[in-house]
Amino acid sequence: MEQRAAKELKDGMYVNLGIGMPTLVSNYTAPGVRIELQSENGLLGIGPYPSESEVNPDLINAGKETVTMIPGSSLFSSSESFGMIRGSKVDVTILGAMEVAANGDLANWIIPGKMVKGMGGAMDLVSSDSKVLVVMEHVAKGNKHKLKPSCSLPLTGQRVVDRCITDMAVFDFVTEGAEAPPTLMEIAPDTTVDAVREATGFDFQVAEPLKTMLAD
């Protein structure tokens, strides 16, 4: 999933990666592609995770993980960071999710049965006109649908998801104008359209031609 999501990133893009699986996407960028990672807590130019000898407890990302800085990085206040986000300076936002609805609604900040401190910067990021990519497992434990006709959890944003990449498929969503069903754009090499339909809670169109994920 992370490898497929990395194909969406082009040289020179400014990108915000959510906690969890999205943080791994930058490990798979194509040769020659340099992206600038932006963290809503005030860092532009995030480097790889530090080795034990490099750990600086004062240098963290929005998920409170220790990080490093690359040459040319800059530090600034959280208010300036959100000014960048709200000013549409971030090209791509990659997030995890608990639920994605057929119309592109996103629920990603409440985990049922667990204490969550809040949605962080997700609400601002998904409403900032950046391209929103969701990276998540296709179904939850017990084979419960995560791709649903409508979200049952509190929303992070309405009609904001442009593309969802799972372990089974890639879906595109219509987020503007009249509502239309999502389109199955790509399928994992080890599954079938029928299996994707069974694992998906909403109806969808199938692209023609239907591509295989990471086939090229």
Q: Write out the catalytic residue numbers.
A: 40
Q: Which of 89, 92, 79 is nearest to 160 (CA)?
A: 92
Indicate the residue type of 88: S
Indicate the residue type of 174: V
Strand order in the sheet with 99-101: 106-107, 99-101, 147-148
Q: Residue 75: which region, alpha, beta or left (left: phi > 0; alpha: psi -120 to 50)?
A: beta
Residue 119 CA to chain centroid, in angstroms? 14
Instruction: Kindly tell me the sign of the dihedral angle through the C-alpha atoms of 197, 200, 203, 207.
Output: negative
Torsion, Cα 62 65 71 74, to 10 degrees, reads 30
Q: Report the distance separating Cα 143 and Cα 101, nearest Å.
A: 17
Indicate the residue type of 199: A
Give the Cβ contact number of residue 113 at 10 Å.
5
